[in-house]
A and B are shown apart, each in its own frame.
Chain A
Amino acid sequence: MSEVAIVGVGCVGFRPITPELSYKELMFEAAVKAYEDAEGINPRKDVDVFVTCAEDYLEGFSIFDEFVPDQLGAALRHLFTVSGDGMLGLATAYMLIKTRQFDTVVVEAHSKASDILTYMDIVAFGLDPIFNRPLGGHPYYVAGMEMQRYMHDTGTTVEQCAQVVVKNKKNAIENPYAAYGSNITLDQVLCSDICFHPLKKLEISTPADGCVVMVLASENAAEKLTNNPIWVKGVGWCTETPNLETHDWTRAEYTRLAAEMAYKTAKISNPWKEIDFAEVHDLFAYKELQHIEALKLCEYGEAGKLTEEGITSLDGEFPVNPSGGLLGMGYGLEASGMQKLLEAVLQLRGEAGSRQILDAEVGLAQAWRGIPTATGVVAVLSNVK
């Protein structure tokens, strides 16, 4: 009796701005939805641990942890912050439950990106203060450099990268949680401004506001809280190196290693065959391709071709980012991994509406923490224990 399940999810957003709600109120709404989804669990009594995932400079506070408990029902209870993507919160909740000391753990992550007036300056503030930051400029040049090398080494084409945008924005039209769905053409993407050669404007996800809260439970507790638990079959996470100089500019090693860890726990030996769909981090279009390869869903350098052939489309053999991805939903900052998990849960519950992938049993979610990081998280979820 040591399996871990997701038994409740709640989401508000994602929208370009949410001026009528404070970040606290945004979190409150998502939390209420998640608790309601878990058979009306009472956070004041029935939740053992709360995990929130946030970074100070994305909130405008030092020690954002201070401002979290009340709206989650966690005042005078056991809450803490993981300074990481929401999926690291999932990994943490998973471990907590595996200690057998806790039965119910809540994970929260949100984005109030519209509260930030100088987002790119803050991203740049994440660069090494001695070796990189003094060069100045828009920090996404790092992505341009990575895309360049990736394309060079794999032979991936500009069209293949652009096709990711077309696919994801189209999927997002079907997703009520998505902010940036659109029927865009390949030509429109190809003709958009080149910001960091070869990276184009439309290949970069736009931030969005939203919050996702999830309730996780031990096998015992899960049975009481839901009829359709989604099991966390395996979770893995890894940090490569934060030093851009020694970073691998072609392969997403952090995702490859995280996937190895997750697959080992989930006993997956052939991910392409054993997994039905994937939600991967697509902050930049090429990142989806790089991540598909790191997840061993195809050979190195083949993801572009798969995309071009429509295999990763919603109606393809192996749908990738049926939610619309971050390109379509909007980039939810530290909640971006939660956006991935949310879609995986909805698909596996059969609640994905017009995006529903038939007979999906095993899904994969993957997160990355954006520029300039090399941290990835991978989770394998299933509706079968």
Chain B
Amino acid sequence: MSSEVKNEMFGKKRVAIVGAGLTLFRRNLKETGKELSYEAAKMALDATGLELRDMQSVVMGSAPDAFDGVHMKGEYLADGAGAYNKPYSRVFVGGGTGVFTPLAGWWHVASGQFDTCLVVSEEKMSSCYPHPQFAFTTIFDPILERPIGMNLVWIFALEMHRYMHKHNIKKEQIALVSVKNKRNALDHPCAQLGANITVEDVLNSEIMCWPVQRLDVSPTSDGAAAVVLASEDVAKEVTDNPVWIDGVGWCIDSTHWTNRDLYYPDYVECAARMAYKMAGIKNPPKEIDVAEPYDPFDYKELHHMEGLLLCKKGEAPKLTAEGVTQRDGDLPINPSGGLLGVGNPIAAAGTMKVCEIFWQLRGEAGKRQIPADPRTGLAQAWGDLMQYGSVIVLRR
């Protein structure tokens, strides 16, 4: 492909990820949000051999201010993200933020405005005391929903139940996702909840909001993640194996989530189609070698595989049961351990997925490395009121 053709496809300039960084994910970390941002950003920079002064722009991703407990927390976090005296902005699309942040970094470079961009995602959920649930109650409409006593888990339970009903899916089929991801996370050095559990453990765990049980759910966490983006010229200077951002997609559905059929995430499909179109992907299950769909709940992984067109509607449980989504399967899904295993500091968790695909494509994922020699990978996050999809397609 001539570079001109590539450019028209992927932006004015083609963009690569050249380094990634990650902190531990834990229920409580001592570091402030600024310090967490710094640690992840510094690790990503060190991985490239570049210095902060080489970063021409900075993007921050972080979910509600109500977690960290700072109004305008993007401003507060700026120095930790390395933004001192630099063009800096924060993007925010709820749970979709973590994958969206590198997308924002992409247009900083793809536009030709900057040759480099430092992308940092952070979440310090433990600041909200005694539990981040308090912050989650304010994501709902104050007139229609908050008076009913809304709880975040409710809406997932409603969606999960609808999905199960529509395709006649059993809980034990869904529990396999939790079993797989928590086991995968045993190999992740940052993981909060890696474990060897069984389907029975999931089915016997405490019922939170039927059909959601304790082991269907990811934890709340503190943590940060970062990636360094560079234009083609710079990328080739600093590394022999850049990972290209070849597809970006995002989509939001209507605010009126109770007016939609929750069994299928149309918005994820819309975002995926946008990214596939840019990446020139026509047959996603064949062309995607590894994927990190968003899995704050186990059924979400299945739901998102379908939305991402990696399988037909209602088929994801079957693929999971057949082992297709295991690391050594035909379509490894969440080899990192996902949010269920590694943890869920909202924005940082999404960027962790991008880091994982980056490492997988470079063959640097250590014990987690999938055997299939992947060339094309995908990460996806989901957010807002069951309405946001953000998708990134990476190639080596």
Contact = CB atoms under 8 A, between A and B. Distances in A.
Interface in A217-248: 236-243
B135 A62 contact: yes
A101 B141 CA distance: 34
Contacts, number: 192
Interface in A102-156: 122-123, 125-126, 128-130
A240 B83 CA distance: 8
Interface in B91-121: 91-94, 100, 104, 107-108, 110-113
Given A76-B270, A91-B89, A55 B71 contact: yes
28 contacts: A55-B72, A56-B71, A57-B72, A60-B138, A63-B92, A65-B92, A65-B93, A66-B139, A68-B255, A70-B256, A74-B252, A75-B254, A76-B254, A80-B100, A80-B250, A80-B252, A81-B92, A82-B89, A83-B91, A92-B89, A96-B111, A99-B11, A101-B11, A101-B110, A130-B32, A239-B78, A239-B86, A261-B87
B129 interface: no
A253 interface: yes
B147 to A, nearest CB: 14
Of the listed residues A79, A94, A123, the one surrounded by the most CB atoms of chain B closer than 10 A to its CB is A79
Nearest to A79: B252
A56 B66 contact: yes
A91 B71 CA distance: 22
Contacts of A239: 58, 75, 78, 83-88
A80 B91 contact: yes
Contacts of A373: 72, 75
B112 A69 contact: no
B240 to A, nearest CB: 26
Given A74-B252, A78-B271, A126-B76, 4 more contacts: A2-B12, A55-B65, A56-B64, A67-B141
A257 interface: yes
A69 B255 contact: yes
A99 B267 contact: no
B74 A83 contact: yes
Given A65-B388, A95-B108, A80 B75 contact: no
B266 interface: yes
Interface in B150-191: none
A130 B35 CA distance: 13
Contacts of B336: none
B45 interface: no
B385 A238 contact: no
A84 interface: yes
A66 B385 contact: yes
Interface string B53-65: 0000010000111
Contacts of B70: 125-126, 128-129
A78 B71 contact: no
A164 interface: no
B199 interface: no
A67 B255 contact: yes
Contacts of A70: 254-256
B159 to A, nearest CB: 15
A97 B11 CA distance: 10
Contacts of A69: 252-255, 387
Contact of B85 (A100, A257, A369, A372): A257
A237 B71 contact: no
B136 interface: yes
Contacts of A61: 138-139, 142
B254 A100 contact: no
Residues of B in contact with A, size category:
35 or more
A318 to B, nearest CB: 27
B383 A63 contact: yes
Nearest to B69: A129
B384 A63 contact: yes
A375 interface: yes
A257 B87 CA distance: 9
B79 interface: yes
Given A62-B136, A63-B139, A96-B111, A83 B385 contact: no
B108 A81 contact: no
A95 to B, nearest CB: 4
Contacts of A84: 74, 89-90
B90 A83 contact: yes
B64 A83 contact: no
Contact of B112 (A83, A96, A98): A98
A88 interface: yes
B251 interface: yes
Interface of B: 7-8, 11-12, 32, 58, 63-66, 69-72, 74-79, 83-94, 100, 104, 107-108, 110-113, 127, 135-136, 138-139, 141-142, 249-256, 266-267, 270-271, 274, 278, 383-385, 387-388
B88 A77 contact: no
B79 A242 contact: yes
B264 to A, nearest CB: 13
The 6 closest A-B CB pairs, nearest first, are: A98-B111, A62-B64, A126-B71, A75-B254, A95-B111, A125-B71
Interface string A290-306: 00000000000000000
A279 to B, nearest CB: 20
A243 B79 contact: yes
B89 A126 contact: no
Given A66-B94, A241-B79, A100 B11 contact: yes
Interface in A33-76: 55-57, 60-63, 65-70, 74-76
Contacts of B107: 92, 95-96, 99
A61 B7 CA distance: 40
B342 to A, nearest CB: 22
A103 to B, nearest CB: 14
A98 B108 CA distance: 9
Given A60-B142, A126-B71, A238 B86 contact: yes
A237 B108 contact: no
Nearest to B141: A67
Of the listed residues A62, A84, A88, A128, the one surrounded by the most CB atoms of chain B closer than 10 A to its CB is A62
Contacts of B87: 91, 236-239, 258, 261
Contacts of A98: 12, 111-113
B278 A101 contact: yes
Contacts of A122: 71
B28 to A, nearest CB: 16
Nearest to A240: B85
Nearest to B256: A70
Contacts of A240: 84-85
Contact of A238 (B76, B85, B112, B255): B85
Nearest to A48: B274
A60 to B, nearest CB: 7
Contacts of A88: 89
A369 B93 contact: no
Contact of A65 (B65, B75, B256, B384): B384
B78 A242 contact: yes
Of the listed residues A57, A95, A372, A373, the one surrounded by the most CB atoms of chain B closer than 10 A to its CB is A95
